[in-house]
Structure 1
Amino acid sequence: MGSRNLVRLFFTTLLIGASSTLITSFFVKSESYKEFLQPFDLFEVFGLFLFFVALGFVFSLVSQMGFFAYLTINQFGLSTFRSFWIPIQILLIAFTLFDLVYFRYRSADGETSIIPYLLVAVALFVYGWIISGIKAKETNRKAFVPALFFMIVVTSIEWVPGLRSAGSDYTWLMIISLLSCNTYQLLILHRITDKKNKSDNELT
């Protein structure tokens, strides 16, 4: 990947993170906006906008670090585990989905139903499956599992700070931003790299 494409990827992903977080904030933090709209306070609303844009920048940086870390890990896995790398990733995907349901439910000490945790895991799996299918169709079929691993396992790891937050608002703000940024990076990668150098199981 050339330096020009790398810089473009960086700033474009930043914008996606900022815009997705800002748009999501209109829904999950609507009470905060209403507080400054009645009566209307321009400076407070502008400050709130800047806060969520800055928060989106942070989420985008987390996404980009996770993305490039996985590219390195994927190459290491291919060279080390070879044909076993795909089964290992499938096993880790299953464990991550189980973790999103069972361990989060256990940590809640039975205060909430298991249904919300189950729905989150299912939604993440379905979304990751769809995006991975698009990736495989545009590159090669063996890119499906690495793409699914990235969309589920890496996204879940990046989401840990949001899962540990006191309220659910920032949990949703973070996951929407992470999914937006990760989806963009995954689907744009093969378009800005040399397709002649790609090989099976690579995300490019």
Structure 2
Amino acid sequence: MTPSARQTILNRLRERTPLPASTQPDFSVMESRRWSLENGIERFIAQQASVHGEVLRVSQAGLTAAVLEQLQQANARRVLIAPGQPLRDDLVASAPDIDFHGYDQPIEAWQSELFHQTDAAITGCHAGLADTGSLVVIPGSEEPRLMTLAPPLHIAVLPVSRLFSSWYQLITEEDWTGPMPTNTLLISGPSKTADIEQTLVYGAHGPKALTVFLVDDR
């Protein structure tokens, strides 16, 4: 850059009119997007269906049987589930022919097994968003991110009490302006890509199917 060109740029910056002071942000539109519980449930189901996700409403008492039926329909024989997942003991007792195991070792030790021999993964959810039909998942040591990315079937358990109208409602009510999760996943339906001839394809990378059990815990 020549000295004259540099000086021209500096002069323009000095002569630039200052931007007006920013006004207080208006969140009224986002705050007004609230649904009743039943309307929120209907919207969540419809939004998931629009991206090939499946939502099944079940009672707390019927959850174990419903999950087992889903696993049997998928012919799942090796299922990833955290030791601390409340469903685990009932599932193990009810289906001795299915191998339920946890994510209990470094990925380097069992990468091939995870990607090629695990049929399904069962995880909890931090929340659900009716607005977009998304699951909010916060990975941890027992349920790391790969549990939702590697097995061909992802089964997610979402209590009705954790269904929010929108992302804005969730982060506002839980005050995510302060300490917040460092790794948060938003999952809307099974995996998809548009890299193949610019056509949206489902199940190309990661889970080919997503089933959400919406549990009435009221």
Which TM-score tier does this pair reach, normalised by the shorter chain? under 0.3
In proportion to residue count, which structure has more strand? 2
Where relative contact order (Cα < 8 A, 6+ residues apart) is larger, the structure is 1
Relative to the length of structure 2, the TM-score reads 0.24
Bigger radius of gyration, 1 or 2? 2
